[in-house]
Amino acid sequence: MADNGFSDKVKGTVNKTKGEAKDQYGNATNNASLQAEGKIDKLKGEVQEKIGNMKDKAHFKKE
């Protein structure tokens, strides 16, 4: 059974949270590399959430 995008949305949320933590810690410690890594994780999370939303929409249109 397909998860209808749920796992993508969860992974996206985790990556966004992890990215925010890295971004904030990098900012606090003046670590530009860690900050950049956090921003990348946040973007990755946003994309994953959008993929999950698209999967949900595609699934509900089939029904």
Domain coordinates in residue numbering, the chain: 6-62
- Cα gap 56→33, rounded to integer Å: 35
Q: What is the pLDDT of residues 12-51, one digit of tens each?
A: 999 999 999 999 999 999 999 999 999 999 999 999 999 9
Q: What is the pLDDT of residue 58?
A: 85
- pTM score of the predicted model: 0.83
Q: What is the pLDDT of residue 13?
A: 96
- Which residue do the tokens 């959008």 mark? 50
Q: What is the pLDDT of residue 2?
A: 57
- Cα gap 39→59, rounded to integer Å: 30
Query: What letter represents residue 23's amino acid?
Result: D
Q: What is the pLDDT of residue 22?
A: 98
Query: What letter represents residue 14's amino acid?
Result: V
- Cα gap 24→26, rounded to integer Å: 5
- Choice between 27 and 62, residue whose per-residue pLDDT is larger: 27
